[in-house]
Amino acid sequence: MTILSIDDLLAAGVRGQRVFVRADLNVPLAGGRVGDDTRIRSALGTLRRLLAAGARVVLASHLGRPKGKNDAALSLRPVGQRLSELLGRDIGFCETCHGPAAEAAVNLLKDGQLLLLENVRFEAGESQNDPTLAQAFANLADAYVNDAFGTAHRAHASTAGVARLIPRRAAGDLLRSELEKLAEVRDPERPLLCLLGGAKVSDKLAVLEALAPHTDVLCIGGAMAYTFLHVLGQPVGTSRVEADRYVDAERVLAAAERAGRRLLLPTDHVVAEVFEADAPHQIVEIIPDGWMALDIGPATAAAYAAEIQTARTLFWNGPMGVFEMPAFAAGTRAVAEAVAASKANTIVGGGDSLAAVNQLGVADRVSHLSTGGGASLEFVQGLPLPGVVALEGSE
């Protein structure tokens, strides 16, 4: 099935047409202002191209998890203010995302103007992919563009639902770029190295099972590494483990072994007796009773860095330790620096991994920074993304 691009829409002409753009403007707010505008900036390319071509852009997004209720703290109004500054032009803001008020506001748009709708998740029907809400969105548009890769794995009214109701539909520049770059993990130039971190095996189980037989080297960090070490019979002290995932961890290990793939786990650890930022800590190879691992140790970090330098394709999702606490951030920093120095095609996703490369100032040395956490993990597994599937078969 064909998925059109912005180029296709522009070639056919969008001047004077209402183009409903679903973006991912789910940014942190602090004191009523945008705290980090990375996701807003990532949407600018598609928006600028449509505006320059004379489209009447109707922009929709979610923010946070208001659970279907109006929440002034999660209004998109501050996002609109920052977007206006970045675009260098005034934009409209609608207090609702559908219905007569939204239709009236859209009808006032002139060619090359933009209207930002209020948080779509203020509507309970959004996450339920309610067909009535999807039709209400469709009533605002002549064409549809999905540029929200971070929500492409959700079958929501503003992603999967509305897209199927608008014959002219396309992938935005950001969404298309994400799909193209992440496809290189599914069909990589080898060796392929994958770095997975985070707190729980359960959060990454599906991608672990998919990547274990596919990747040449799989390096595991974060708290989830200690469930694996436990099933291998190594002492883990009071480190976080998931007893209900022991069988799953054994299955991942066995899948890697059967496929002849290498799965690497920490060989030394930064440990403390309590989970506190200023807790006394030490580096050990064997975790003592009563102590918990909060970061990979320097030998492990060096070993992972050496593996990174041999890769031709690299995918990283998840921190190596409790990155939020400076005392336990060294492992994640070391991996970030190694990824930046690598000559491989490097793809980094997940909030903490992105934070690491941004804080270290090496983001511009990463081949691709993925804006989608869950979406990127599902895509590299080979799972269909509802928001992408809904774009197929455009006229």
CA distance 284 to 299: 10
Count of Cβ atoms closer than 10 Å to residue 351 Cβ? 12
Percent with pLDDT over 90 in the chain: 90
Residue spans in the chain of domains classed CATH 3.40.50.1260: 4-176, 188-380
Is the pLDDT confidence value at 1 over 70?
A: no
Residues 88-95 have a mean pLDDT of 97
Residue-wise pLDDT for 213-245, tens only, equals 999 999 999 999 999 999 999 999 999 999 999
| CATH class, 188-380 region | alpha beta
- Angle CA(96)–CA(102)–CA(106) in degrees, nearest 5? 140
**Looking at residue 139, what DSSP letter applies?**
T
Percent with pLDDT over 70 in the chain: 99
Q: How far is CA 320 from CA 72, 212, 270, 302, 329, in A?
A: 36, 18, 11, 13, 8
User: What one-letter code names the amino acid at 377?
Assistant: L
Orientation of helix 38-52 relative to helix 173-186, angle to 10°: 120
Query: H-type helices in 212-348, by residue range?
Result: 225-231, 246-258, 298-310, 330-341
What pLDDT is attached to residue 394?
72
Which CATH number describes the domain made up of 4-176? 3.40.50.1260
What pLDDT is attached to residue 351?
78
Structure-token match 């608008």, residue found: 166
Report, as residue numbers or ranges, the catalytic residues. 39, 200, 351, 374
Is the pLDDT confidence value at 2 over 90?
A: no
Is the pLDDT confidence value at 86 over 60?
A: yes
Contacts of 283 (CB under 8 A, 6+ apart): 268, 269, 270, 271, 297, 298
Residue among 73, 58, 63, 149 nearest 108 (CA): 58
- Which tokens hold the place of 11? 């070639």
